[in-house]
Amino acid sequence: MFSRLTLKQKEIVDCLEPRIVVKACPGSGKTYSVSARLANLILNKSFKHSGIAVISFTNTAGNEIKKSLFENYNIQNIGYPHFLGTIDSFVNKHIFLPFGHLIMGCKSRPEVVGTEFNQWYDYDSSMRSGYSQKITDPNFYFDKVSFDKNDDLLRLLPYNSYYFGKAVWDNMFKANNEYKKQISDLIECKEKYFKEGKANQADANYISLKLLKKYPFILESLARKYSHLIIDEAQDTTDIQMEIIELLDGAQQENIIFIGDPDQAIFEWNTADAELFLKKYNNQNYFNIELNENRRSSTKICSVLNKMVGSTTASIADVKDDVNQPAVKGYDTNDKNSVQLIKNEFLEKCTELGISHKKSAILFRGKSFGEEHFELAIDNSDDNPWVSKHYHVKDIVHGKYLMEKGEFRKSLKLLERSYYKCLNPDLRYVSKVFLLNEIEQKGFREYRKKMFEFINLLPTTNSKTLKEWIIETNSVIIDKGFNQLLVKINKSNFLIKELFHKVETSDLLFNLGTIHSVKGQTFDATLLFLKKKAIKNYSTVLANNYNEPDETKRRKDKEELRLVYVACSRPKRLLWLAVPNDDIDIWKDYMGLNLIVSLPLSSAPPNLFSP
């Protein structure tokens, strides 16, 4: 399979330079190149107790590498002495979980909490302030803040996610150089729960960096354990993650290779910084390789991508001569039916071209567009059915729903914690340590038996409203010693299926989702919907004379355009962009499509706009 590599890809596989940076354009076969280099090392180099660490930034990217290894090189499992996983899993496994207590001051092994891992709800929802009535309890923000390399409090979400605003975040100190109360309250909250062994993932990275600096033996042990480092999607590193990698690099690894594309950096909202990758690329101590051949998209799509970022990528794809011009469509923002008309026209075009709807994707910027036009989820704001301090009820319903879908692992993670909260209403938080103690006391068989007895008590969620399901469930579980499940009955008259996902992916004729959800994926055809405004109006961001003086705002604007670029680089043959009618001209100029005419969609579908 190595014979299928291009000359540039072979250079990545065979390069013997100790420090390498690869800048890879969309569709250049980055994953194929990473898996080829990894396979070549495994097949041709002797590894005994020191191995290769392949670090990605999403599970999707890691799974793609595993898939490529198996399909192309028949390497099924990457086990000892190697590692293949996300940067977070690498940090947690090797640094934070075994050694975090040395920094945090907790008495036992720490654990990662937060909505992605173990939901954090230990706060008082009655503590509210201001016109928006946002929660002011510092506990509510435990998993929404962390610390930067200088030990200053770091926000992990936009300014409007907090009960205090930009002015406090931008100036955390009072005139006497003490922290403002809002900041000191959050810091005290973090320190309190650190001592209890709780941290969110950003905390885990922060604490791990401190550990590597304070305890050299940890760094030395890791350096001996992994002689080769492969850093995939390196443009998505945060400054703390990059410094952790640099410390490993400085510990005299035999080889380290960074692979990424700064034009596809779309996680700056999560404190990632593409400039860190560019500094590596421009560093004379690193050997540079550039993959600028697109093996995915047609020449016509590549010409649009080149115009968007000022690159010179050439198509070498099987479909490079495809005749379909990228198109810009206009829709009427006052007529919801116009979005559906574009969607239908796109799917009809796919059928005409012989493109399976399963290989087509309809994308949008932000979940709100999907909720409004494609019914992806119900409103989950304060006007939701969940009762304060009874959020485990949501996990019980969701867990049973996932169990019936066959997603057993996700289901059990939700249900086993909820089981104990349902038994004891005063139990606010169920830790991993708590569960391990239960297993030790009961024995695994008895523990799992009790768990499944509880799950089997729960009625099916199929074709039931939340209200119906809650009433039926309470009639069954209360007699078995469980506490009543509480929800806001007057806000529960919708199907459970609608609560978690109004349109099931398996039921769709096409792929549907946000731009972030499809990063790294390939489709034959893509339709991207953009609204009038993301962070600010696109017409402002794309204006020729636009010059934002605020560096932070400029970075956000650039990330907005990179999001569009990532979406437009997904398809092989067909690319459509749908924008409000008023914005057609600015997108025409930006994408190099010069003969665009718009028709109001309330009366007829728009024409295909092509140069």
Alpha-carbon torsion angle 67, 72, 78, 82, nearest 10: -120
CA–CA distance, 123 with 479 (Å, rounded to integer): 30
For range 441-446, the mean pLDDT? 90
Range with the largest mean pLDDT of 143-152, 461-470, 516-525, 538-547 = 143-152
Mean pLDDT of the chain: 86
Lowest mean pLDDT among 173-177, 249-253, 362-366, 413-417: 249-253
Phi/psi at 289 (5° precision): -130, 135
In the block, residue with structure tokens 């594309």? 261
Highest mean pLDDT among 71-80, 122-131, 310-319: 310-319
Strands 153-155 and 145-147: antiparallel
Compare 211 and 165 and report the one with higher pLDDT.
Answer: 211
Supply the pLDDT for residue 554. Answer: 65
Q: Report how far Cα 341 is from the mean position of its chain's Cα atoms.
A: 30
Q: What are phi and psi of 6, to 5 degrees?
A: -75, 170
DSSP codes of every residue in 158-195: -GGGSSS-HHHHH--B-TTSPBPHHHHHHHHHHHHHHH
Q: How far apart are CA 611 and CA 286, in angstroms?
A: 41
Spatial CA neighbour of 331 closest among 115, 73, 583:
583
Q: Residue 118: phi, psi to the nearest 5?
A: -150, 105
The predicted pLDDT at position 569 comes to: 95
**E strand or H helix at 362, and its extent?**
strand 360-364
CA-closest candidate to residue 564, choices 30, 158, 26, 156: 26
Sorting pLDDT into bands at 50, 70 and 90, what band is 508?
low
Q: What SS3 class is residue 539? A: helix
pLDDT at position 379 is 44
Around Cβ 143, how many Cβ atoms within 10 Å? 25
Residue at token pair 């495809």: 322
8-state DSSP, 238: B
Tens of pLDDT, residues 154-201: 999 888 899 998 999 999 999 999 999 999 999 999 999 999 999 999
pLDDT for 330? 94
User: What pLDDT shows up at residue 196?
Assistant: 92
Question: Residue range 552-561: average pLDDT?
Answer: 75
**Res 546: pLDDT:** 63
> Given pLDDT bands bounded at 50, 70 and 90, which one contains residue 549?
low
Residue 358, both tokens: 């399963």
Interval 373-427: pLDDT, tens: 875 544 444 457 888 778 789 889 999 998 888 888 888 888 988 899 888 877 7
DSSP SS3 for 293: strand
Query: Which among 159, 135, 125, 126 has a CA at the least distance from the CA of 145?
Result: 159
pLDDT at residue 595 greater than cutoff 70: no
Going 38 to 39 to 40 to 45, the CA torsion angle's sign is positive
Distance of CA 533 to CAs 42, 291, 455, 557, 560, Å? Answer: 49, 33, 45, 11, 10
Q: Report the sign of the C-alpha dihedral through residues 128, 133, 138, 142, in that order.
A: positive
pLDDT of residue 526: 97
Taking the C-alpha atoms of residue 9 and residue 22, their distance in angstroms, rounded to an integer, is 10
Band the pLDDT of 131: cuts 50, 70, 90: confident
pLDDT at 40 over 70: yes
- Asked whether residue 256 carries a pLDDT value surpassing 90, the answer given is yes
Task: Tell me how far apart the alpha carbons of residues 597 and 510 are, in angstroms, rounded to a whole number.
Answer: 27
Give the pair of three-digit tokens for residue 149.
């390399």
Cα-flanking dihedrals φ and ψ of residue 554, to 5°? -60, -40
Is 460 within 8 Å of 398 (Cβ atoms)?
no
User: pLDDT-based confidence at 52, cuts 50/70/90?
Assistant: very high
- Binned at pLDDT 50, 70 and 90, residue 604 comes out as very low
| Structure tokens, 557 | 């604007």
Is residue 597 over pLDDT 90?
no
CB 34 within 8 A of CB 63: no
Tokens 């005063």 -> residue? 426
Tokens 């006391």 identify what position?
A: 441
From the list 487, 264, 503, the residue with the least C-alpha distance to 367 is 503
Q: At what angle do helices 181-195 and 201-214 cross, to 10 degrees?
A: 70
**Per-residue pLDDT band at 607 (split at 50, 70, 90):** very low
pLDDT of res. 7: 87
Q: What local confidence, expressed as pLDDT, does residue 272 receive?
A: 72
Closest CA to 544 of 593, 578, 595, 586: 586
As a residue count, the chain comes to 611
The two three-digit tokens of residue 215, written as one number = 């305890």
Tens digits of residue pLDDT in 299-327: 999 999 999 998 899 999 999 999 999 99
Alpha helices per DSSP H over 295-443 = 299-309, 336-352, 367-374, 392-405, 408-423, 432-442
Amino acid at 595: L
pLDDT score of 605 more than 90: no
CA R_g for the chain: 26
| Residue 109 burial class via C-beta count within 10 angstroms: exposed 0-12, middle 13-18, buried 19 and up | middle
pLDDT at residue 596 greater than cutoff 80: no
**Of 136 and 62, more confident:** 136
d(CA 418, CA 392): 5
Question: What is the C-alpha to C-alpha distance for residues 531 and 282, in angstroms, rounded to an integer?
Answer: 36
240, 209 in Cβ contact below 8 A? yes
